[in-house]
Amino acid sequence: MKYSRIFLAVLAVVAFASTSNAWFLDFEWGLGHNYEQIQSGVPGLEFASDMFYADAVNGAWNFYSEDLGMGWYGANYYIGGYVGAHADATGSGRINFTNGDGSWFRTGYCAGNTFYVEAYDASDNLLDVASGPANRRVNEGNMLGMGYLEVSSAMNNIAYVVLHDGGYYWVSDNMSGDASGVYDPSIPEPATMTLLGLGLLGLGAGLRKRMK
């Protein structure tokens, strides 16, 4: 009885993970891919050609890692781990939601100027916009880490978001949202997790029979 309850609980957790649309991206799978386009790196999302991996490990980036407590070069811009995302030079970064059904999007950012996140529907109508101040670690005296901005739509119709600043350099990391079909490439797909849960349940049933 005890084993049955445990495996049923595991299956319930896996089933929830397989049906939930919420996702979180930390870009750590981009380690070793510095300044490569992110375009096809995340199933369910399409990153515009001006969105790139920013890999701090190569020593060329002015980063400080919140999670690791480590700095590289001037350590002026916060990221979560070793890798963040940025747009080419001082440009804007667009991220398309393949299924066009997002109701919210949130991202961490560190910028040398006012930073903006804009949400649009499939007809290019602006649905929501959020902005935050410059928050570099050294120049702006920010010792609290990345700022976070969130946009939303009650109609579940966010088709894409645009990230940009007021004309300086910026980096973003630790993105999350609920558009369907998106998952972190560094973890198993929901279908794989479900199969794993079913396998564990079968194993539990076998153990129960042996105990009897």
At residue 39, the pLDDT reads 74
Return the pLDDT at 167: 84
Residues 138, 112: one domain?
Answer: yes
Looking at the fold, whether 16 and 27 belong to one and the same domain comes out as no
Predicted local distance difference test score (pLDDT) of residue 62: 95
Residues 13 and 30 reside in one and the same domain: no
Distance of CA 123 to the CA centre of its chain: 25
Mark 57-88 as b/e (b = at least 16 C-beta within 10 Å). Answer: eeeebbbbbbeeeeebeebbbbbbbbbbbbbe
Whether residues 35 and 126 fall in one domain: yes
Same domain for 76 and 152, yes or no, is yes
- Give me the residues of the chain with pLDDT under 70, please: 1-20, 40, 186-212
pLDDT in tens, 106-115: 999 999 999 9
Q: Are residues 205 and 136 in the same domain?
A: no
Q: What pLDDT, on the 0 to 100 scale, is given for residue 188? A: 61
Whole-number Cα distances in Å, 34 to 13, 30, 38, 145, 199 = 35, 7, 10, 22, 38
Q: Are strands 147-152 and 83-87 parallel, antiparallel or unpaired?
A: unpaired
Q: What φ, ψ does residue 20 adopt, rounded to 5°?
A: -80, 140
- Check whether residue 7 and residue 93 sit in a common domain: no
- What is the extent of the structural domain holding 201? 1-21+182-212
Whether residues 109 and 176 share a domain: the answer is yes
CATH of the domain at 115: 2.60.120.200
- 73 and 120 co-located in one domain: yes
Pairing of strands 77-79, 63-65: parallel
Domains: count for the chain: 2
In a shared domain, residues 27 and 7 = no
Residues 148, 206 within the same domain: no
DSSP designation for 212: -
41 and 105 fall within a common domain: yes
